[in-house]
Structure 1
Amino acid sequence: MLTNGIVHSHFDVQREPVLRQLLAWRERVGHVVDIVPSREQIGRPFRGAIDRYDVGDIVFTDCYTDELLLERTIARISRDSVRSFVFQVFLSGGVEPLAVHSATRRGAFCGGILALDMDQPIRMLRHAGCVVALFAPVALLQEVFADPAAIHGRVLGREQPMVQFIIDHISALAEKMRHMTVDQARRSLVDVVLLLASAFGREAGLAGDARAAARAAMFDRVRRYVRANLVNPELSPEHVLDALGLARATLYRLFQHEGGLGAYIRHLRLRQAADELVRYPDLRVKDIAYGLGFKSGPDFTRAFRRAYGMAPQDVRAMDIRATPDWDSGV
């Protein structure tokens, strides 16, 4: 603990033998994300250093690494307890490609800010560079808009208004963290998280002016209806249109980033199925499928494999090591 009361830790792999450097880094961050190294990568020098600051329920990290392939699979998520939301602020470096449940972006994301929901799968090749990350409870983001999961995988490039200001502000905060009181640090981090949530909310059309507020309220109404009727086999975009009396074009725009409302419904069903596969190991796969509105076991298996790159049975078979019962920062 620092003299200001903030819990701080520093880790650097430079003193490890070359063959242990990347593996040591993987062990260090393995409670949050999986590192997927190649044999060639393990055999060469690797640079990785991180400063971590725990300020109440927010974790702030300042990190440099060489290139890494990072992954959180649905099997991993269904077995660990990390459920925070993270904003990765790239002071240098970037990501290519970035794969989330709705899309794979092949274009390079160089600089800027990336939003990630730790309750959803992701796979990304992160280039060498400096990244400042803020891990915050989802409830904090919900002060800005109802469903932070809607911004999972979204990016704010440096060219967008206010982004460079936010990056400069967070970079300065990393420099000052050791010299702030706990209360000052907590207030500063909360303000930054809310600022980031607002910026991503505006980019998604869910925060900002009165029109955005109305859009966010409509999005929340549809989201709550879908979640309440997820086990109904008749749940579909047409069903939601009839039940809520919304215009088709409006509904399409609301869920365009998700690939459409049908894709959103399927994603929620598959996400819940992954949890149930782990929670109820004696329940047959087809019974889980039917219970979540899928028409047949094979249809469910095909959809699950397309979404997560593995069969439902593979989720049960994977031996994921136990992880601590607290949200942590990479």
Structure 2
Amino acid sequence: MGDALPHSYFSTDRLGREDKFPVWRDSVSVIYQADLTAPGDEGGFHALADGYLFGAMSQIRCRASRQHFKRDRMRIDRDGIDHYMIQLFMRGRCHARTPQGDVAIEAGDICVFDNAQTLDTTNDDFDLLALFVPRSLLAPHIKDADHRHYQCIRENNPLTRLLRTHMLELQKQAPYMTLDQGGLAVSPTIALLAAALNGNPHENESGEQAIRMAIVTMLKRYIEENIEDSALSPESVAEIFGVSRSRLYKLFQHYNGVAAYIRDRRLAHALTILTDPTQQQRKIIDVSLSVGFSSESSFIRAFRRRYGFTPSEARQAGACAYLPGGGLDKPETGLFGDREWECWIRSLQA
């Protein structure tokens, strides 16, 4: 017998009434800001997260009381989490607010959440399975990989039922699976996900999408490694990789072009510096120059446009608002199980 699959179990059942929601909110802050939908609900709040790590993906069963979830641009840029969360709602209802209109997700539906995009939802008391899949695993196999946020496949779709059965059985068999067996479950799960999301993808389309994804991943890595180089530009990237400006723009069309992508990654890097407690003494102008901006004023304007407040305001408020913990006096670990699932969410970038 090989090693068992990594398992994480978190529950608020043994916590005092005053600790239930604060401890849960702190745990889920790894990815979302959670708030109660009505004052005074703290005492009756409950939450459970019970999951397994299957190689490069994880699946977590989550049951919790009604609450509001939010993931804003500042949180996205600060944590860098970039994967899909596919949720199967077994009980409860989710109401998502989007620029294109509201989306209602009912029990039995399966919905895709792209964690590189903003989120604003209210969940009734719910019981769901959440499958976390790195973008690099799923995106090459689905059409319009950057436009799947809030895509909902309804309960009456036969492929939804097939995927539902697979996810439920995966959770049921996980306690008996070894590490190797868990790893072997990844590929068929990705294939079934792609089939459910695409319908019947054409092989050539899938191949072209995989090539595009590989190129974009390589370009993103290069940009990230050189984000502090003031000479980094669309022209320099095009020249180094031997691609035309028009081709480069198409590859980054979802991000409004490579110039916008470079600017946004520079701002995200600056946000990390500004909210780092060890770098509080650095001047704003030094931060702006270190991430490739030519002047402090242009940096402040760009930062305000992206996040809605100035770099100085981010420095004052960001560290408390976006760092898990935030001064919370945590109960003993044994009272709520463990929080290993948070580490999986942070590191799941295969």
Decide: shared fold, TM above 0.5. yes
Mapped to 2, the partners of 1:167 and 1:48 lie a distance apart of 22
1:254 is aligned to: 251
Mapped to 1, the partners of 2:309 and 2:158 lie a distance apart of 40
Aligned-partner residue type, residue 275 of structure 1: T
C-alpha distance 90-266 of structure 1, shift in aligned 2 (>3 A): farther
2:50 is aligned to: 51
Q: In the alignment, is the contact (CA less than 8 A) between 2:26 and 2:325 conserved in 1?
A: no
Q: Sequence identity of aligned pairs in percent?
A: 24
Mapped to 1, the partners of 2:212 and 2:76 lie a distance apart of 30
Question: Is 2:103 aligned against 1:108?
Answer: yes
1:125 is aligned to: 121
Long gaps (5+) in structure 2: 327-338
Could you tell which deviates more after superposition, 234-243 or 278-287?
234-243
2:269 is aligned to: 272
1:176 is aligned to: 173
Question: Is 2:112 aligned against 1:96?
Answer: no
C-alpha distance 20-285 of structure 1, shift in aligned 2 (>3 A): same
Mapped to 2, the partners of 1:328 and 1:260 lie a distance apart of 31
Mapped to 2, the partners of 1:237 and 1:79 lie a distance apart of 23
Aligned-partner residue type, residue 154 of structure 1: H
1:316 is aligned to: 315
Q: TM-score, normalised by structure 2?
A: 0.66
Secondary structure at the residue paired with 1:46?
coil
Q: In the alignment, is the contact (CA less than 8 A) between 1:141 and 1:193 conserved in 2?
A: no
Question: Is 2:235 aligned against 1:219?
Answer: no
Q: Which structure would you say has the larger RCO, counting Cα contacts within 8 Å and 6 or more residues apart?
A: 2
Per-residue Cα deviation, 1:20-49 (whole angstroms, up to 9, x for no partner): 543353245345543233562635743533
Long gaps (5+) in structure 1: 99-103
Mapped to 2, the partners of 1:73 and 1:184 lie a distance apart of 36
Mapped to 1, the partners of 2:238 and 2:162 lie a distance apart of 41
C-alpha distance 321-49 of structure 1, shift in aligned 2 (>3 A): closer
1:165 is aligned to: 162
Post-superposition offset of 1:158: 0.6
Q: In the alignment, is the contact (CA less than 8 A) between 2:55 and 2:186 conserved in 1?
A: no
Post-superposition offset of 1:212: 2.7
Mapped to 2, the partners of 1:216 and 1:77 lie a distance apart of 20
Mapped to 1, the partners of 2:8 and 2:210 lie a distance apart of 40
Post-superposition offset of 1:240: 5.2
1:263 is aligned to: 260
Q: In the alignment, is the contact (CA less than 8 A) between 1:52 and 1:59 conserved in 2?
A: yes
Post-superposition offset of 1:264: 1.5
Q: TM-score, normalised by structure 1?
A: 0.69
Q: In the alignment, is the contact (CA less than 8 A) between 2:87 and 2:128 conserved in 1?
A: yes
Aligned-partner residue type, residue 96 of structure 2: E
Matches within 5 A, 1:1-330: 5-13=4-12, 21-31=20-30, 33-37=32-36, 40=39, 42=41, 45-54=44-53, 58-71=57-70, 85-92=83-90, 93-97=93-97, 106-108=101-103, 110=105, 111-117=109-115, 122-128=118-124, 129-135=126-132, 141=136, 151=146, 154-158=149-153, 162=159, 165-189=162-186, 191-193=188-190, 196=193, 208-220=205-217, 222-224=219-221, 226-227=223-224, 230-233=227-230, 235-237=232-234, 244-246=242-244, 248=246, 250-277=247-274, 278=276, 280-317=279-316, 318-319=319-320, 320-321=323-324, 327-328=343-344
Per-residue Cα deviation, 1:122-177 (whole angstroms, up to 9, x for no partner): 443242333322346x5x936975xxxx8597344316995553343213322332
Mapped to 2, the partners of 1:152 and 1:252 lie a distance apart of 17
Mapped to 2, the partners of 1:272 and 1:143 lie a distance apart of 26
Secondary structure at the residue paired with 1:267?
helix
Q: In the alignment, is the contact (CA less than 8 A) between 1:84 and 1:135 conserved in 2?
A: no
Per-residue Cα deviation, 1:275-301 (whole angstroms, up to 9, x for no partner): 233263332222221232223223222
Mapped to 2, the partners of 1:201 and 1:316 lie a distance apart of 43
Mapped to 1, the partners of 2:225 and 2:24 lie a distance apart of 41
